[in-house]
């Protein structure tokens, strides 16, 4: 009969050792001194092979349930030709053993072959492993970055490319300003000063969270001023009227896809963010009302946004309808009509342009439009609404007007102004887009 806890507690020592069997080769040996010791008989080579015996420890240090789990683990190994006793002696796992067998053997050693002191050390090492920079950063990313950041992949890329290889295995509390400088210096050595500054800023946020979680008391990234890494790139670029013209002429003369040319032109005319345009769907475009309704879930502030379309913008959407091959997306991916174009596509075509215009990024199109509309005397509230900015403070609470008619007039003026810059000084074939433009 199988052993029970009641039976085990009632076992008494005799003049000499005796055994009480459980099941599957598991038994206890009761010694004259009163010890009740778990042992197991097993064979690694099947029936006919030499029988081996291994000891776990005494009862009740190891409970009946634990002894049975130990027995089952031993028999799994033995069934794969690995001797549990050999592992307990410290014999190495054969190099040619399958990976699954190696994993089983390593788990067996961790669970059943360590002394109490070794187990305590292993537990402490496991705890420290949870507090390495990489482990803690992954927790921060999952709990803080991913839920709150519209583009968490950028931060994940920073961590995986530049942080983990350098200090990922280091304990979070042992990181010093010198470690941070070594990371940023290495990035700057490849000519990426702005990336170095970005990495420092990401680490500053990471260690601020570590302080809040009481893992560290000092922020090593905050100890290094940004100016010692790189000068922040100016973000106040607004293209001049002449630069707007030269840029768009270069776009239409470039060898890029027609849909990409129209996308860049629309970004200037509609004043939307890049992601709002490239993920646009046809059910958002109302050709009759000449309006583009962007749902809140695709907006940065999660509020629906209405874009009155100028004649030029409406005509471009008409042309794009014919270029989209029946996709639900205005700008479908080249690999699948069921997905929008990749987020990086327009950035790459802009970088490939050969144009005599000072350094700029796509987001500067919005600033350019805002700057020239303000200079032309248009109402600031209309402009801010066109940019999907929300007025802060008391004024913003009461100012909920959409200014649709005023924005329609303003965006038409802006489209005509941009047209005049394209055609100023030289001729360039850009096309007339669609019937809405031609009927104007």
- CATH code: domain of residue 137: 1.10.150.130
CATH for 408: 1.10.443.10
pLDDT the model gives residue 109: 84
pLDDT the model gives residue 410: 94
Q: Answer yes or no: do 45 and 192 share one domain.
A: no
Q: Answer yes or no: do 291 and 399 share one domain.
A: yes
pLDDT the model gives residue 155: 84
Domain-located, residue 430: yes
Instruction: Give the ranges where 254-403 is alpha helix by DSSP (H).
Output: 258-270, 274-278, 311-323, 345-351, 364-375, 380-386, 393-398
Residues in the chain, how many? 440
For residue range 359-406, what is the model confidence (pLDDT) as tens digits?
567 878 888 898 889 888 888 889 889 988 865 544 444 444 578 899
Domain-located, residue 199: yes
Residues of the chain with pLDDT under 70: 114-130, 148-152, 231-237, 356-360, 390-401, 424-440
Domain-located, residue 246: yes
Q: Answer yes or no: do 377 and 246 share one domain.
A: yes
Sheet containing 36-43, strands listed edge to edge, beginning at the edge strand earlier in sequence:
18-21, 26-30, 36-43, 51-58
pLDDT the model gives residue 194: 76
Domain hosting residue 94, numbered range: 5-113
pLDDT the model gives residue 414: 94
Domain-located, residue 220: yes
Domain-located, residue 170: yes
Domain-located, residue 127: no
pLDDT the model gives residue 418: 92
pLDDT the model gives residue 118: 62
Torsion angle of the four alpha carbons 436, 437, 438, 440, in this order, in degrees rounded to the nearest 10: 90
Rounded to two decimals, what is the model's pTM?
Answer: 0.47
Q: Give the total number of structural domains in the chain.
A: 3
329: β partners: 281
In degrees and rounded to multiples of 5, residue 56 shows phi and psi of: -95, -60
User: Which of 228, 255, 272 is the endpoint of a domain?
Assistant: 228
Q: Answer yes or no: do 245 and 223 share one domain.
A: no
CATH for 93: 3.30.160.390
Domain-located, residue 280: yes
User: Which of 179, 205, 228 is the endpoint of a domain?
Assistant: 228
d(Cα 54, Cα 59) in Å, to the nearest integer?
15
The SS3 of residue 302 is coil
Q: Answer yes or no: do 365 and 427 share one domain.
A: yes
Domain-located, residue 233: no
User: Which of 200, 228, 256 is the endpoint of a domain?
Assistant: 228
pLDDT the model gives residue 400: 45
**Tokens at 375, concatenated:** 């200079």
38: β partners: 28, 57
Q: Answer yes or no: do 260 and 184 share one domain.
A: no
């Amino acid at each position: 009969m199988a052993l029970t806890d009641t039976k085990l507690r009632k076992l008494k020592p005799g003049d000499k050792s005796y055994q009480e069997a459980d099941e599957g080769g598991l038994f206890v040996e009761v010694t004259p001194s009163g010890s009740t010791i778990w042992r197991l008989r097993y064979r690694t080579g099947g029936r006919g092979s030499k029988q081996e015996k291994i000891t776990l420890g005494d009862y009740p240090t190891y409970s009946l349930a634990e002894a049975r789990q130990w027995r089952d683990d031993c028999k799994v190994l033995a069934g794969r030709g690995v001797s549990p006793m050999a592992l307990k002696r410290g014999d190495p796992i054969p190099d040619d053993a399958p990976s699954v067998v190696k994993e089983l053997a390593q788990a067996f050693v961790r669970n059943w072959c360590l002394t109490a002191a070794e187990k305590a050390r292993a537990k402490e090492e496991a705890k420290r492993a949870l507090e390495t920079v990489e482990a803690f950063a992954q927790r921060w990313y999952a709990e803080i970055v991913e839920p709150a950041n519209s583009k968490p992949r950028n931060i994940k890329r920073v961590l995986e490319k530049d942080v983990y290889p350098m200090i990922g295995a280091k304990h979070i509390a042992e990181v010093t300003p010198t470690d941070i400088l070594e990371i940023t210096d290495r990035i700057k050595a490849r000519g990426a000063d702005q990336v170095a500054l970005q990495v420092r800023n990401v680490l500053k946020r990471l260690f601020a969270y570590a302080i809040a979680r009481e893992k560290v008391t000092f922020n090593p990234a905050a100890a290094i001023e940004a100016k010692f890494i790189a000068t922040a790139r100016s973000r106040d670029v607004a293209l001049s009227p002449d630069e707007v013209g030269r840029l768009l002429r270069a776009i239409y003369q470039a060898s890029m896809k027609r849909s990409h040319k129209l996308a860049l032109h629309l970004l200037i005319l509609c004043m939307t963010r890049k992601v709002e345009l490239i993920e646009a769907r046809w059910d958002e475009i109302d050709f009759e009302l000449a309006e583009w309704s962007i749902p809140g879930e695709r907006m940065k502030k999660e509020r629906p946004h209405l874009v009155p379309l100028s004649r030029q913008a409406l005509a471009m959407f008409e042309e794009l309808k014919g270029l989209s091959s029946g996709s639900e997306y205005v700008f479908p991916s080249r690999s699948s009509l069921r997905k929008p174009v990749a987020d990086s596509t327009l950035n790459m075509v802009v970088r490939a342009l050969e144009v005599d215009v000072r350094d700029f990024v796509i987001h500067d199109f919005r600033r350019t439009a805002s700057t020239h509309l303000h200079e032309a005397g248009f109402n600031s509230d209309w402009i801010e609404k066109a940019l999907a900015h929300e007025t802060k403070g008391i004024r913003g609470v009461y100012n909920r007007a959409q200014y649709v008619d005023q924005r329609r007039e303003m965006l038409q003026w802006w489209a005509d102004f941009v047209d005049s810059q394209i055609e100023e000084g030289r001729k360039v074939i850009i096309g007339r887009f669609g019937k809405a433009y031609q009927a104007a």
